[in-house]
Amino acid sequence: MKEKNPNFFFELELEEDQSIKLAFWADARSRAAFEYFGDVISFDTTYNTNRYNLVCGSFVGVNHHGQSTLLGCSLMKNEEIESFKWLFQCWLRCMGGNAPKGFLTDQCASMKRALEACMPTTVHRWCIWHIMKKIPSKLNGYKGHANIEQEMSHVVWNSHSKDSFDRNWNDFLLNFGLADNKWLSDLYEDRHIWVPIYLDHHFWAGMRSTQRSESMHSFFNKYITRNSSLIQFVK
């Protein structure tokens, strides 16, 4: 690939048995697009793993027509902090060391810590859609869980200042007896990276979720399957 296009970027880390541990690549079009559409990046690792049991990740931006544009792809054997650090450092080298202003991901502690280390000036945002989607499974053991879900959604979306969110959240916990719920406590500690009122003053190119990245799944599915080779995948 690099022989045909000198601007094709590829980095690889192998295990002792020479199997792939980590890989990142971006073609010339992706690298050029980043110069214009790299202010906000959505990164997602939910695409189906292939027969090599590698996790696929995609870096996606938004162009001037509001369309998703692919800005790099990765394969990882695991989703540990050091793997994400390796990946994000590769991506930065590929893009000339220019970190984006905003970076949108799923709720993942490993990604969070890796981004803090690799892109300390970038504003990190968790996908609110995935967080809200977890409410039924996390809180369905409580009486009146449907009302809990409705009220939590109301607090998240209708608090118009940071102070009002804090008050509304505390009232919500007290009213439903949720003050000791660890999942909610952890979410509150990280409120600055997922609650809209803490983030919407930044530029996000219209994104609050990683659905831009996930829209790439259908694009990939047109060309590859779980049985595709790694060479086919990269091409």
| pLDDT in the model for residue 221 | 54
Q: What is the pLDDT confidence band of residue 36, given thresholds at 50, 70 and 90?
A: very high
| pLDDT in the model for residue 209 | 64
Question: 221 or 88, which is more confident?
Answer: 88
Q: Do the beta carbons of residue 77 and residue 22 sit within 8 Å? A: yes
**Model pLDDT for residues 196-213, shown as the tens digit of each residue:** 999 989 998 887 765 655
| pLDDT in the model for residue 44 | 87
> How is domain 9-127+199-234 classified at the CATH fold level?
Nucleotidyltransferase; domain 5 (3.30.420)
Helical axes 162-175 vs 145-158, angle rounded to 10°: 170
Is pLDDT at 227 greater than 70 in this prediction? no
| pLDDT in the model for residue 56 | 85
Q: Structural domain boundaries of the chain?
A: 9-127+199-234, 131-193
Angle value at C-alpha 40, between 101 and 131, nearest 5 degrees: 105
Q: What is the pLDDT confidence band of residue 143, given thresholds at 50, 70 and 90?
A: confident
| pLDDT in the model for residue 229 | 52
Question: What is the rounded average pLDDT for all residues in the chain?
Answer: 87
**Model pLDDT for residues 156-185, shown as the tens digit of each residue:** 999 999 999 999 999 999 999 999 999 999
